[in-house]
Structure 1
Amino acid sequence: METRHEDRESEPRSNASGHVGETLARPNMRSRRPSAPGYVNRPCADWRYVLMFALLLIPFYPPTGFFNVLGLDYSSVLLGLQIFAAIVTLFLGAVRKRLDIFSGIALAIVAVMFLSTFLNEGFGRGWIYVQCFLDWMPLAVAVLIVGYARQRHMTDFLIALLAVTGFLSICNTVSILAFPDGFNFGGREPFNFFGHKNSSIDIVLPSIVCSLLLDRRKGRRLSARSVMFAAIGCVQFLVSYSATSVIAILFFFILLALCRLPRIASLVNGFSLLGGYAVTVVLLMVVKVQELFAPILVGVLGKTTTFTLRTFVWEGVLSMMAPGHLLLGYGASVRFALFFNDYLYNNAHNFFLHVLVSGGLIGVVLYCILILLAASKMVSARVGSTVVLSAFGCLLVVGLMESLITITWPLVLALGYYGVEGERYVAGHGDHGTVRN
């Protein structure tokens, strides 16, 4: 009797939770559990690409507090490195790989921000265009670099991002433990090794996410490395005490736990998190529900009902959106120039409000499309996606109080859109099979 194997090998197999798992791309080879003989439990990284990705990422994670302590004028060097990294990334993402709708929209957002800046500044202040580059080019770089890595080099990229952010997170923790009050520079708020205490989330979250994703690729649920990065991240937030970061990282861990519950996991996806974000924005800015929770905000979290004067800039930004600036906003012209209630703000302290005041309704619409595209791919039924989905929810919490104009936010969006289920490698005469999203 003839026995056929090829159809069985091409069918997806279900895991213990009932979700459809990954299949091996190599035909006529049975799916193996991570502990089975012949299954290689390592990422199989190409260290040349790991180094390349790390060098491209480093300029976008500058330890500003450390540079200020040394008294270094790093701005020109940092700008040059970021420009070089952006050019290389544009070559890799737009020339070596064809642009898709996601990367195209990311580039369109950056173009809108520069156009808006030009319409408001003309050929006036040159440093405004530098600020526009620093604020918005990380969006294009993040999307293009993940888009380039998605097919063959996602493991290499995750290792590189883990190395960069993990090292910075360790150094920042040492700095916070050694100098809990931070370093003071000219009357400004104290800085830690990496920068302001609110910026710590930009290195803590990627280090945890990348470590967890690499664990999944090696067939592990949780490694000592992931526990370590989670622990040192919590130490940073608790000692320096950033209420927003504490709530955000707690939400991250809660989402990870919820995604493991089959009945609840089906309700946790990118769209439900976006819906929750929208409702929260309305409650905070329109209903002003924070007045009802004054005892918790003031007594427990040690904050005010204005969220450290943020409500004033929210109201001020909305009042600035006159018909002449409604479509394209003000570009980078409003950076360090938002003066409300006798206080100078350097940004809108809310993600969508900052996009609105910078790029107008056109910028908001483009960014909404970008986020919706990423959210459509973030479903808790996919193993690796639960980690990115949780990071997405974490940064939405941060986006309630901050502008998210760093590279970490678009990196999470890009990982969500392009997928991180990744490659499984099989031992056998030196070759391997790869599964791609």
Structure 2
Amino acid sequence: MNDIRVDIDPALLTHHVERLGELGELPGGGMARLQYDSSWAEAQDLVATWMREAGLRVRRDAVGNVFGRLPGTDDSRTILTGSHIDTVPEGGKYDGALGVLAGLAALRALAARDERPQISLEVVSLCEEESSRFQANFFGSRAMLGLVGQEEPRTLKDADGVTMAEAMVAVGLDPAAVATAKRDDVAAFVELHIEQGKVLESAGVDVGVVEVITGLIWEQVVVTGRQDHAGGTPMDDRLDAVQAAAEITAEITRHVAGADGAGRVTFGRWDVRPGWPSIVPGEVVLSMDLRHTDPADLRKRATEAREIAAAVAARRGVEVTFERLKDETPTRMDPWLRQALADAAAVCGATSMGLPSGAGHDSQLMGEHVPAAMLFVPSVEGRSHCKEEFTRPEDCVRGATVLATALHRLAY
């Protein structure tokens, strides 16, 4: 058994977290670093510079993923670590970015040792995970797995009508070359991430080893009523789309909450049309984010949500339609890699526990094609996807140390 502990540079990791968090920072706090925007490009350049300073071989692929490589005696296989560089609008500086920087810190520490890995190690700063600018759905991971269609960059558009292809060209990438990002050498993927919940904090446990990543369904829901005058139309003669949508979402929320403790449903985006104070709304377009760790239960909740919506719509005399935008099945993490993370935590004197991930991650998609595992570090008060997102420096350092130790066990 390999019981070597690999320590990382705590001051450097803390500096990297703070410095990277300045790129895309908003005046009122929080982050907006979106795929292929200027802050994204600056961030990827900075990460590439830090990779070179760590003594790693640096390259970018056709979609903008940035890699730092530590070659092994067998350079035909790669153990990959890292996460994504993009953020949600008004997000935090730890989501995704900490996994990139912890992976960098781990490989820097390993590169400094007087030994060569048997299998090559690589850290990746993935170009996209959040679908914040384009409905790209793990674009960086999908490109590595050969799952991006050649025409996809030309068909995906952001809210301003800019195509992904145009955005790629603006940062020096060739959208016609996306197929060249495909890789066949990845033997395993290990991702460090903030928990984005408070299980670890509540339990007083240092790190979490993810057992399963939740499945996710995104639906666009359109409720169509009748547009009328707010003063001239009696309350009992209205087909108010907002009131119908409010009842639909309230009933679905109650149903999911009462079904079991593993389901989650969120209606985070609403577009009321025409959106004027003196007009009874004729249409509402809203989002539904539905999650569950069991694939059968996820499908069941999605079907039940549509049935509830149809019943409310019929009662209120409105119409409701659903369009599925994203469909990701739950993914179980590799047992052998999970054990390697738990063993590494013990070597580092860190307490650990198994837990599910309620958020989706690149490991979810990667885990469908190669062995994958995730290591969680605590989130203060469980806050994430907000400017209050925070993980204590000592927790960041502990997690990166466990990651480096696990990578040593796996590759040396």
Higher fraction of strand: 2
Instruction: Compute the TM-score of the two structures, normalised by the length of structure 1.
Output: 0.30
TM-score, structure 2 normalization: 0.32
